[in-house]
Structure 1
Amino acid sequence: MPKVELIAITPNYIQLIQRAMGECYQRPVGEKTVKKAIQAGHLSVLEHCSATFEIQCSISVLLQLTRHRHFSFTVQSSRGCELTHFHKTGIEFLDSLLIEHMADYKYAVEDGCKNKEDAAYLLPKAAEYKLLITGNFRAWYEYLPKRMCKRAQKEHRQMAEQIQKLLAKSAPEIFDRDFMNCDRCTEKSCSFS
């Protein structure tokens, strides 16, 4: 399971969102108005606030994360760090192969390559990296339904669920809601077939 820790969040987020919305109407607005506007899809006011997480996840999930273009990433270096962990799939056959691949990488780092960066070519997509990821509230708001979806890869879905819980605890007015869009989904089924 991926590891997720909330590192930073805009401390006065609700006042900042209220002020941004108030600029639109040139009058003060309350929390209730903010909630209604967000429910109606007026999300630009969320862009003034942000949250940063430290995450440990597989390369596979990291590749998927980078498709969300409005996030900022700082990722552990394969040049400066030896990577020793991998995401266990729970599928015995795959996990035994992953152990072998990680052993090949370790052998290359210790005996065969001049540097870790070249040895990293041997890493499987299950190899785990640490990263910091920052996004404005709108980016998180739009990311969550996509990655909490039943169609999302299990590891990524687990990570998105952890992120949502942490955001809901820290910014409940915005993130304490059901992000599942099953009733509005335009996909024909919950599989790619």
Structure 2
Amino acid sequence: MKVEVISYTRDCEKLIAAASKLTLSKKPFEEIWGSLSEDEIDTWIKETVIRWHFSPWEHCVYTFYIGGVSRVLTHQLVRHRIASYSQHSQRFKALHDIEFVVPDRINMSEEAKRLFLDTVDNARDAYHKLIEKGIPFEDARYVLPQAVTTKILVTMNARELMHFFSLRMCTRAQLEIRRLAWLMWRKVYELHPRLWKWAGPRCLQTENLIRRNPIEFPRVLEEAGVEFVSEKCPEGLPRESIVKCLRHSYHEVSK
């Protein structure tokens, strides 16, 4: 799996902070933008988290290149509708070097792995034979399994990306798309840490709704003694297990 940030809003953190302040200030935008200090940027970004006011995040946009993932993953990905997608075509372009994603749990069993590889190899051979017989690409592709790899360009605004992370970084998400979500989070966190330290699985976002002082996601992953005040997470996990679950997800996708 390969993930790259191709393009992004350069002044993302400042822009979101300025948009947040604009909603509550009498000052003209030019004055807000020109006088916004570094401390104020942190304050106003945090304010969006405290007030659950994420419309300012929509002004910030990221474009990702994603490659070496399965069609299973992209079927799940494109369900996030407030985004733009450009995916490699199987209809107008023949596939030559066809590769497949082998799920981890299949990889762990030699018998299951052999059955899987034999099946996808047969599908690959059938695809090429159909094309040799003059069958159009758009029809020959029907024989290919969902494990076939693909590449896709994805553009999302930061608010939609926050929503994507809330669902797909959770342990309830399938492992392949969960790996993708964590990789994407790391990429944007490296670019804009003051923004993306507030993003994470849904349990973090609902937790920050009820805390007097919201908690930063890297603290949850790294610091000892971090505790949630929520009685349970949105998936029903009890309070005492939430941090352990988050760290398990982090280590599982890091393998």
Report the TM range for the smaller structure's normalisation: 0.7 to 0.9
Structure 1's consecutive aligned runs of 4 or more residues displaced over 6 angstroms after TM superposition are none
- 1:70 and 1:64 map into 2 onto residues whose CA distance is 14
Alignment of 1:67 with 2:74, yes or no, is: no
Calculate the aligned-residue CA RMSD, in Å: 2.0
Shift of 1:177: 4.5
**Corresponding residue number in structure 1 for 2:8:** 9
Q: Letter of the aligned partner of 2:121 in structure 1?
A: I
- 1:161 and 1:134 map into 2 onto residues whose CA distance is 17
Q: Letter of the aligned partner of 2:49 in structure 1?
A: Q
Tell which deviates more after alignment, 180-189 or 44-53. Answer: 180-189
Q: Structure 1 length normalisation: TM-score?
A: 0.88
The structure with higher relative contact order (CA 8 Å, sep 6+) is 1
The CA deviation string for residues 118-174 of structure 1, in whole angstroms up to 9 with x for no partner, is 111111111111110000000101101211111111111111111011010011111
Tell which deviates more after alignment, 14-23 or 64-73. Answer: 14-23
Q: Letter of the aligned partner of 1:88 in structure 2?
A: V
- 2:118 and 2:178 map into 1 onto residues whose CA distance is 24
**Corresponding residue number in structure 2 for 1:51:** 62
- Judged with a 3 Å threshold, the aligned counterparts in structure 2 of structure 1 residues 178 and 45 are, in CA distance, closer, same or farther, namely closer
Shift of 1:68: 0.8
- 2:199 and 2:155 map into 1 onto residues whose CA distance is 22
Kept in 1, the 8 Å contact 2:17–2:45? The answer is no
Alignment of 1:186 with 2:234, yes or no, is: yes
Q: Letter of the aligned partner of 2:58 in structure 1?
A: E
Q: Structure 2 length normalisation: TM-score?
A: 0.68
Structure with the greater alpha carbon radius of gyration: 2
Kept in 2, the 8 Å contact 1:101–1:122? The answer is yes
Tell which deviates more after alignment, 33-42 or 58-67. Answer: 33-42
- 2:134 and 2:183 map into 1 onto residues whose CA distance is 37
Percent identity of paired positions between Structure 1 and Structure 2: 30
Q: Letter of the aligned partner of 2:103 in structure 1?
A: T
**Corresponding residue number in structure 1 for 2:211:** none
User: Alignment length, in residue pairs?
Assistant: 188
Of the candidates 81, 96, 101, which is equivalent to residue 87 of structure 1?
Answer: 101
